[in-house]
Amino acid sequence: MLESAIAAGLASAGVDIVLTGTLPTPAIAYLTAAHQASFGVVISASHNPFEDNGIKFFGSDGYKLSDKLEQAIEAAYFRSSDSRSEVAAKDIGRVVHLRDAVEQYASLATASFPKQASLKGLKIAVDTANGAAFQTTPLVLSSLGANLELRSVSPDGFNINAGCGSTHPEFISRVVQETGAHVGIAHDGDADRVLFCDENGQSLDGDELLAIAAVDYLQQNRLRDNTLVATIMSNFGLDELLKSYGARLLRTAVGDRNVVDAMIKNRLNLGGEQSGHLIFRDFVTTGDGLISALQILSIMVSTGKPLSELRLLLKKFPQVQRNLQVRSKPPIDQVPGLTQAIGRAEKALAEKGRVLVRYSGTEPLIRLLLEGPDRAQLERLADNIAQTIEDNLSP
């Protein structure tokens, strides 16, 4: 219904429409640029239940639109809603189907895998979350020689992300353990994320995958400006790992679009989030679960190492978190004593950890995250900061 409504609305304004059918979000980013379209549209609930279907836009270059541009489009839409000029019948847009959209995207993904390399001999458990990757990921992995154990590959429009996919890592973990697979891969519904688990069924988050990819890039002299991009939520162990290789971590605000923006601005080629949004910008313009999976699999193949060994690269720092109810959300620096409490904690950690304090964007909460080498110390520092918050902001 949403596809038909959007297509009809755009056609009525004189726009020609190319329908690709069900495809991962990054496939639309690629096809938009490859076919020189004015823009691309994705209808998806992403990693959420089907009731949360929304719309994503990509510009003609295959990158997501900025917040500023999306807000300008919304404002223009509502301003002109009562006075739109009609397009003459002969100028109404045409709606056509791109019959080989799956194959075009599959070719792009396959081309990102090293030539002469193969996945033969690897048993891979795959969970496509009953979502958009149900055709593309099995097609590409099997074409590269992998033996697949497929799960959640029968979308009916309602079962997307339901007890499966990257938001339910326990599912793919169980499949790996039951089937004896060498590795497990799980996408979210629109397949712009990927989650891995090793041969023991132990999950790897985005930080661990970034660590594996970054070290591989550094060893091949492929990491541009010796810099990896991640968000403020990534583990401090990632900073320490990169320092040991003479590289650095550039942090952004939470959100894959912020990561991509920083990569574009600084001309960097690798970045991502803990959630499994990984951006291999040598190949794609956005998070791409399949291409990200292929890059990690290629490292397994080239090194001959299982994920349980590769993941040991990242020594994660302990984290202590607090989510505290607040009655209001004044600026952090206006809460009596809070800036001082944060400063004392940062001094105690002596550049071997970090303190992050921020309000929830949707709930009456303030979130506190401390990270460092000593958990007991973190607990004490967190308690001190939490007490200051409670004294001033508790409901």
Question: Which residues belong to the active site?
Answer: 46
How many residues are present in the chain?
395
Sheet holding 354-359, edge to edge: 319-325, 365-371, 354-359
Burial 149-188 (b: 16+ CB within 10 A, else e): bbbbbebeeebbbeebbbbbbebbbbbbbeeebbbbbbbb
> Under DSSP, is residue 384 helix (H, G, I), strand (E, B) or coil?
helix
Give the side-chain half-sphere CA count within 13 A for 150.
17
Neighbour count for residue 391 (Cβ, 10 Å):
12
CA gap 199, 217 in Å, rounded:
24
User: What number of other Cβ atoms are within 10 A of residue 75's Cβ?
Assistant: 10
What is the C-alpha to C-alpha distance for residues 145 and 106, in angstroms, rounded to an integer? Answer: 14
Per-position DSSP letters for 60-113, written without gaps between them: TTSSBPPHHHHHHHHHHHHHSTT-PPPPPGGG---EEE-TTHHHHHHHHHHHTS
Spatial distance between the Cα atoms of 188 and 198, rounded to a whole number of angstroms: 18
- Give residues with Cβ within 8 angstroms of 362, minimum separation 6: none
Kindly give, in sequence order, each residue whose CB lies less than 8 Å from that of residue 9, ignoring residues fewer than 6 positions away. none
State the amino acid at position 162 in one-letter form. Answer: A
Q: Do 17 and 162 form a contact (C-beta atoms < 8 A)?
A: no
CA atoms within 13 A on the CB side of 129: 30
Return the sign of the alpha-carbon dihedral for residues 137, 142, 147, 152. positive
CA 128 to chain CA centroid, Å, is: 15
